[in-house]
């Protein structure tokens, strides 16, 4: 491959061309769609976390005003099942997952019956007429209780709540030594709890299914139209070629829309039953209780080291909450972190174990970073603990263990080959931007004076694996699909360009970034490029958008497709200029005759000639359209250093982030404005885990934080300005040098914030505060242990 990035557009801070329609809402959000004859669906959901349905009768609902049909789970006999694409071990327990419960419910919010009516209000009203009785069953919510002998079972048929046990050991893999034999002058063991989070995308999930004419079109606010089409065919028996899935403009996902949902499958089945288009749009309350959640795991981490700070071994034991069912990649999500606990460090021994556990809660699955934020949190927290144990500066402990820039490429103890990186450069830039030394002095002064407002500095030197993923690797990990991406570039007769993207954006800015790249590749104006996506009839092939993959994989496919266009066009241009193709060079956006630059043909000039096809060279087809599908050979490894200075009011427990510096190395940058937006949003989402968000169940399994009044999302008013900067170490595994930035901020920021707060209170004997660091928890930590150290 010769693909490269060059030209006037790449690197420009272009405002996003899609924002006018997205921000004003004047666009094709799924809930904006109204089809002729469309009906509206409402869903009755279980109020019990675990119960038998002893009686259900929807006949009264059928008689309610404007109601067209109503179904219980048993009556919706064409509902299919929901599939898990990632059974991580041979014996992973995959319980039958029905979109609508038939005889037993296993979490609050599980669908039990539906009503379809001519208007949404009537459908919701008629839910009250459904006659349903439950016999409550014992509930299990706690991970360790669920594994204890005699625990109530979420799935009786499984005979256990243990879903799987997955192990990576560097001694077995031949990538390192055994942790059991690691030299241990110092041992630091910690338990961290990743609280349950809810991906709070701005646009609630919405689906419209049109079954007209024996073909099905599903419009859905999803991240994964292509995967949805495949699985809909595979699990309902509907022929794939008769299914079209459209993700119109989608308002955020964060992994929360990387899912095939009960609501999609139910709407599909109901529309088939009634033979009319049916729409379902969730309320925010339904979204919080029914959309999948994220994180929710216990991390038992043991780090061994020498007295000089050199780490000798890392042992990670995870207990991961699956929830009640397996979503599309529920079991695999924690394993996306398995290769990242060793992070940027040269550890000689590593063992990772993960036990997946069923509970009577909403299922968990991918949430921005998926496994990698958890890994980064644990390692970056415990590196601070090691530093404290040894009385070293936490930056110094990192320096003593990280891969030096001259050591790349480097095979890690987890078996990944990091192609590139420069941790020294990113860290130096970050400490300079923060004013690290000055803040350390201020910290010392505040400690000495007993200031009620203490200062802490938090460090997070992260890396991540993104550009998911090499298909061969996914296969080795037992994931059910590949990780390639597809792009088609079409040149219209007037010289305008259509880029058909297999990866489907839900807010990332593909329209703009792709236009910038293709504009350079084909020498056309930015505004002459349109990016088409999200419709399986238009973008026929694709693997969709997650895992910071669009640019790192789709971007390469796009450049390859554009190169193919140029190759085809070159022959025609040579013919039109009456020279040999060898006499032409591509320069400044046109084919130019070597030695006579003014003799030139642009892509637009070639396009109209190809359209007319009156005078093409022998054997050249009248089309410039080209497709490329790219499967990466490896992951890409963005990295960076994030630093947080936090003030802690010890009298109230209030944490105020005073300054936050994010220096990221994501390789080559297409549009700095989009990158900074991704970093800002990502950092804020990570801060939210550190300080605000927490999905809490009561002892009966009710989601206490079932609205945004209780599930706290921070806003701009709660957060500091984020100082964003970059170092640029291009990826070496492909010619574009790009790495991916969609999740970096979220992965990096949570430990930076928590490390800062713990650092502020460390003289009081504080070495951990459970997330989220609520003011009360911080106050308790600050006061209970005051003077203890």
Cα–Cα distance for residue pair 10/203, rounded to 1 Å:
30
Instruction: Identify any residues that bridge with 384 across adjacent strands, giving them in sequence order.
Output: none
Q: Does 121 bind another protein (CB under 8 A)?
A: yes
Considering the complex, state which of residue 119 and residue 172 has its C-beta at the smaller distance from another protein: 119
Question: In 477-493, which positions are buried (b, 16+ CB within 10 angstroms) versus exposed (e)?
Answer: bbbbbbbbbbbbbbbbe
Q: Check binding of 718 to another protein (CB under 8 A).
A: yes
Closest approach of another protein to the CB of residue 259, in Å: 22
Q: Cα separation of 17 and 530, whole Å?
A: 10
3-state SS record for 140-209:
CCCHHHHHCCCCCCCCHHHCCCEEEEEEEEHHHHCCCECHHHCCCCEEEEEEEEEEEECCCCCCCCEEEE
* Residue 429: alpha-carbon gap to chain centroid: 27
Tokens for 497, please give them. Answer: 């360009």
**Of 716 and 788, CB closest to another protein:** 716
DSSP symbol at 770: P
User: Cβ of residue 102: shortest distance to another protein, in angstroms?
Assistant: 26
CB of 474 to another protein, least distance (A): 39
Give the total of residues touching another protein (CB under 8 A): 28
Among 7, 475, 714, 720, contact with another protein (rule: CB under 8 A):
714
715 binds another protein (CB under 8 A): yes
Report the distance separating Cα 717 and Cα 739, nearest Å.
31
Cα distances (Å, whole numbers) of residue 535 to 159, 205, 257 = 42, 17, 16
Whichever of 586 and 692 has its CB closer to another protein, that residue is: 692
Residue selected from 27, 212, 235, 652 as contacting another protein according to rule CB under 8 A:
652
654 belongs to the binding site for another protein (CB under 8 A): yes
Nearest distance from C-beta of residue 206 to another protein, angstroms: 14
| Closest CB 652 distance from another protein, rounded Å | 6
Question: Greatest CA span in the chain, whole angstroms?
Answer: 89
Which span sits near another protein by CB under 8 A: 71-79, 119-127, 210-218, 554-562? Answer: 119-127
Taking CB under 8 A as the rule, does residue 721 contact another protein?
no
The answer to whether residue 774 forms part of the interface with another protein (CB under 8 A) is yes
Instruction: Give the residue, chosen from 102, 184, 712, 723, that forms a contact with another protein under the rule CB under 8 A.
Output: 712
**Interacting positions 70-89 with another protein (CB under 8 A):** none
Cβ atoms of 124 and 131 closer than 8 Å: no
Residues 52 and 101: their CA atoms lie apart, in Å, by 10
Kindly state the smallest distance separating residue 126's Cβ from another protein, in Å: 12
Nearest-approach distance from CB 705 to another protein, in angstroms: 7
Cβ atoms of 425 and 727 within 8 Å: the answer is: yes
Burial degree of 779 (CB within 10 A; 0-12, 13-18, 19+): middle
Question: Binding segment for another protein among 31-39, 117-125, 400-408, 724-732 (CB under 8 A)?
Answer: 117-125
Nearer to another protein, 283 or 599 (CB): 283
**Smallest distance from the beta carbon of 535 to another protein, in angstroms?**
30
Residue 641 touches another protein, criterion: CB under 8 A? no
How far apart CA 60 and CA 128 sit, in angstroms, is: 9
Selected from 214, 717, 787, 788, the binder of another protein by CB under 8 A is 717
Site mask for another protein (CB under 8 A), range 691-710, x = bound:
-x-x-x-------xx-x-xx
351-390 mask for another protein (x: CB under 8 A)? ----------------------------------------
Q: Is 129 exposed, middle or buried (0-12, 13-18, 19+ CB in 10 A)?
A: middle
Going by the DSSP 8-state scheme, the letter that residue 50 receives in this structure is S
Pick the closer one to another protein by CB: 476 or 709. 709
Contact 563, 522 (CB under 8 A): no
Is the peptide bond prior to 469 cis by the omega test (within 30 degrees of 0)? Answer: yes
- Which CB atom, from 135 or from 776, has the smaller least distance to another protein? 776
Query: How many angstroms separate the Cα of 691 from the Cα of each of 472, 713, 724, 757, 770?
Result: 39, 10, 21, 10, 10
Nearer to another protein, 125 or 380 (CB): 125
Question: Pattern 285-314, binding to another protein, x per CB under 8 A?
Answer: x-----------------------------
Q: Helix/strand/coil (H, E, C) string of 249-267?
A: CCCCCCCCCCCCCHHHHHH
Q: Minimal CA–CA distance to 534: which of 261, 248, 259?
A: 248
In the three-class reduction of DSSP (H, G, I as helix; E, B as strand; rest coil), residue 513 is classed as helix
CA-to-CA distance for 543 and 746, rounded, in angstroms?
23
Residues numbered 238-257 forming contacts with another protein, rule: CB under 8 A: none
Q: Give the residue with the Cβ less far from another protein, 202 or 696.
A: 696
Nearest distance from C-beta of residue 286 to another protein, angstroms: 9
Query: Is 666 or 691 the residue whose CB approaches another protein more closely?
Result: 691
CB of 115 to another protein, least distance (A): 13
Decide: is 453 part of the binding site for another protein (CB under 8 A).
no
For residue 783, the minimal CB distance to another protein (Å) is 8
What's the min distance (Å) between Cβ of 562 and another protein? 45
Residue whose CB is less far from another protein, 44 or 539: 44
Given the rule CB under 8 A, which of 346-354, 537-545, 596-604, 714-722 is the region that contacts another protein?
A: 714-722
- The tokens describing 144, both together, are 């360790």
Copy the structure tokens of residue 590: 């046109």
Q: Tell me the closest approach of the beta carbon of residue 124 to another protein, in angstroms.
A: 5
Cβ count near 647 (within 10 Å)? 19
Map the footprint of another protein across residues 268-287, applying CB under 8 A.
283, 285
Smallest separation (angstroms) from another protein to the CB of 692: 7
Q: How far is the CB of 718 from another protein (least distance, A)?
A: 5
* The pairing of beta strand 655-665 with beta strand 639-649: antiparallel
Nearest to residue 60, comparing CAs of 132, 130, 133, 113? 130
Check residue 776 for interaction with another protein (CB under 8 A): yes
User: Which lies closer to another protein via its Cβ, residue 435 or residue 714?
Assistant: 714
Residues 469/475, Cβ–Cβ less than 8 Å = no
Is 125 a binding residue for another protein by CB under 8 A? The answer is yes
620 contacts another protein (rule: CB under 8 A)? no
Residue 606: cis peptide before it, omega within 30 degrees of 0: no
Give yes or no for residue 38 binding another protein (CB under 8 A).
Answer: no
Residues that bind another protein (CB under 8 A): 120-121, 124-125, 283, 285, 651-652, 654, 692, 694, 696, 704-705, 707, 709-710, 712-715, 717-718, 774-776, 779-780
């Amino acid at each position: 491959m010769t693909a490269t990035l060059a030209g006037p557009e790449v690197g420009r801070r272009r405002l996003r061309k899609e924002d006018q329609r997205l921000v004003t809402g004047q666009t094709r959000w799924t809930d904006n769609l109204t089809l002729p004859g469309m009906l509206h669906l409402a869903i009755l959901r279980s109020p019990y976390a675990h119960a038998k349905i002893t009686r259900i009768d929807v006949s009264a609902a059928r008689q309610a005003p404007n109601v067209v049909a109503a179904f219980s789970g048993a009556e919706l006999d064409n509902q299919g099942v929901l599939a898990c694409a990632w059974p991580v071990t041979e014996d992973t327990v995959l319980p039958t997952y029905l979109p609508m419960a038939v005889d037993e419910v296993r979490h609050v919010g599980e669908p039990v019956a539906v009503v379809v009516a001519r208007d949404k209000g009537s459908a919701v009203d008629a839910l009250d007429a459904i006659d349903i009785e439950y016999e409550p069953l014992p509930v299990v919510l706690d991970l360790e209780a669920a594994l204890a002998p005699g625990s109530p079972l979420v799935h009786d048929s499984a005979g256990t709540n243990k879903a799987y046990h997955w192990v990576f050991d560097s001694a077995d893999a031949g990538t390192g030594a055994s942790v059991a034999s690691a030299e241990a002058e110092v041992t630091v063991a910690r338990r961290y709890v990743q609280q349950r989070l809810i991906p709070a995308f701005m646009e609630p999930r919405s689906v419209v299914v049109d079954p007209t004419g024996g073909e099905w079109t599903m419009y859905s606010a999803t991240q994964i139209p292509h995967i949805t089409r495949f699985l809909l065919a595979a699990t309902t028996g509907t022929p794939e070629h008769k299914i079209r899935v459209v993700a119109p403009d989608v308002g955020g996902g964060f992994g929360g829309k990387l899912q095939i949902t009960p609501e999609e499958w139910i709407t599909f089945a109901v529309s088939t039953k009634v033979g009319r288009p049916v729409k379902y749009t969730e309320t925010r309350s339904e979204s919080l209780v029914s959309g999948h959640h994220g994180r929710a795991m216990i991390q038992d981490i043991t780090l061994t080291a020498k007295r000089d700070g050199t780490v000798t071994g890392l042992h990670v034991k995870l207990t991961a909450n699956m929830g009640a069912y397996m979503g599309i990649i529920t079991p695999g999500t924690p394993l996306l972190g398995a290769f990242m606990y060793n992070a940027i460090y040269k550890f000689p021994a590593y063992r990772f174990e993960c036990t997946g556990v069923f509970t009577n809660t909403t299922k968990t699955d991918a949430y921005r970073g998926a496994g990698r934020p958890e890994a980064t949190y644990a390692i970056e927290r415990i590196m601070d603990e090691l530093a404290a144990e040894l009385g070293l500066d936490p930056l110094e402990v990192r320096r003593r263990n990280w891969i030096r820039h001259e050591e790349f490429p480097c095979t890690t103890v987890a078996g990944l080959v990091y192609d590139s990186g420069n941790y020294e450069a990113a860290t130096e830039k970050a400490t300079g931007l923060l004013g690290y030394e000055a803040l350390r002095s201020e910290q010392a002064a505040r400690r000495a004076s007993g200031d009620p407002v203490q200062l802490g500095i938090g460090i997070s030197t992260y890396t991540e694996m993104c550009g998911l993923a090499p298909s061969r690797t996914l296969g080795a990990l037992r994931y059910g699909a590949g990780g390639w991406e597809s792009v088609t570039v079409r040149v219209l007769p007037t010289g305008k360009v259509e880029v058909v993207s297999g990866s489907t954006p839900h807010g990332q800015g593909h329209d703009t970034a792709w236009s910038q790249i293709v504009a350079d590749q084909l020498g056309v104006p930015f505004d002459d490029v349109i990016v088409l996506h999200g419709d399986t009839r238009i973008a026929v092939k694709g693997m969709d958008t997650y895992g910071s993959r669009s640019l790192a994989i789709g971007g390469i496919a796009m450049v390859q497709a554009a190169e193919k266009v140029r190759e085809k066009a070159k022959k025609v241009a040579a013919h039109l200029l009456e020279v040999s193709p060898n006499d032409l060079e591509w320069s400044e956006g046109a084919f130019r005759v070597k030695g006579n630059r003014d003799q030139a043909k642009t892509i637009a000039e070639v396009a109209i000639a190809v359209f007319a096809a009156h005078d093409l060279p022998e054997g050249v087809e009248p089309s410039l359209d080209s497709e490329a599908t790219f499967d990466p050979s490896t992951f890409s490894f963005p990295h960076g250093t994030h630093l947080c200075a936090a003030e802690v009011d010890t009298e109230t427990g209030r944490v105020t982030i005073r300054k936050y510096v994010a220096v990221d190395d994501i390789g080559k940058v297409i549009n700095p404005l989009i990158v900074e937006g991704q970093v800002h949003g990502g950092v804020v989402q990570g801060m939210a885990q550190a300080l605000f968000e927490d999905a809490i169940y009561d002892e009966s399994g009710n989601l206490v934080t079932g609205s945004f009044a209780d599930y706290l999302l921070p806003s701009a008013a709660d957060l500091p300005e984020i100082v964003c900067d970059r170092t640029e170490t291009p990826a070496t595994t492909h010619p574009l040098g790009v790495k991916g930035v969609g999740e970096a901020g979220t992965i990096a920021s949570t430990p930076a914030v928590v490390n800062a707060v713990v650092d502020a209170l460390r003289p009081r004997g504080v070495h951990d505060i459970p997330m989220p660091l609520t003011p009360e928890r911080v106050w308790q930590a600050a006061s209970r242990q005051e003077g203890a150290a």
